[in-house]
Structure 1
């Protein structure tokens, strides 16, 4: 790998996707079972409409703790302002994005379509193996 290697070669293409109408409790369980910090939320056409992070889930979890029941859907808790990376982004630029921003994962888009997810671990492993 070289500094001009593109994230499309290191991103995950087999990743968790959530839908806006999914019950939030189910989404939390999927995030935890998958061991991922965030998952893209897509509509029926596969268009990216938001992202649900573990942090986003804390509001719902606290409410569930207080009221003794989970309620709501992913749409109520997701973050709509999604920061994504183009698939042709080089790994150095992606690493700088992780340094400059608090995000643990980025959806990866190609021609406006969701094609992958890039987690911090994906990039760190690349640098560890090839650095």
Structure 2
């Protein structure tokens, strides 16, 4: 006669809820943006006041037109001094980067980290139907990594 087990059927272990990993879960949506007609000095003032390194350039319908950064402003200062040109009338349109690479809001934030390494950008705009809906920065990816600390990096 065999020994019978009186142990009941074991319940499936509860799976821990997977933390959010999409770019949309970590992107910034309250953005400081710029217009093409603004002067470089207005941009520099805004960058300094808000302690940011750049921002998206949009039109009145929030369509992404480009980005303007500290580097673009520094290039403007350097060029105007080198060529001894007055720089009061230089606008964002003249200095912004127009061919902007974007990231999809549904992309895994860890894949976004890899894209930051490959492209060497500080931020990527996130666009939906041509309109700016957010931005992910290297700092946002660091925040995501701290949030996911100890979890499976392959989620």
Q: Which runs of 4+ in 1 moved over 6 A?
A: none
Q: How does 1:3-22 map to 2 (within 5 A)?
A: 5-22=21-38
1:29 maps to 45
Higher-Rg member (1/2): 2
Q: How many residues align?
A: 131
How far residue 28 of structure 1 moved from its aligned partner, in angstroms, is 1.4
Contact 1:64 1:70 in 2 (8 A): no
Partner of 2:124: helix, strand, or coil? strand
Q: CA RMSD in A?
A: 2.0
Distance 1:4 1:130, change over 3 A: closer
Higher relative contact order (CA 8 A, sep 6+): 1
Measured after TM superposition, the shift of residue 127 of structure 1 is: 0.5
Q: Which segments of 5 or more consecutive residues in structure 2 lack a partner in the other structure?
A: 1-16, 150-155
Deviating more after overlay: 65-74 vs 121-130: 65-74
The structure with the greater share of residues assigned to helix is 1
8 Å CA contact 1:41, 1:48 repeated in 2: yes
Q: Deviations over 1:25-65 (max 9, x none)?
A: 00111122222222010012211111111111112222455
Structure 1: unaligned runs, 5 residues or longer: none
Q: Matched residue of 1:94: which SS?
A: helix
Specify which structure has the higher proportion of strand: 1
Q: Give the secondary-structure state (helix, strand or coil) at the position aligned to 1:41.
A: strand
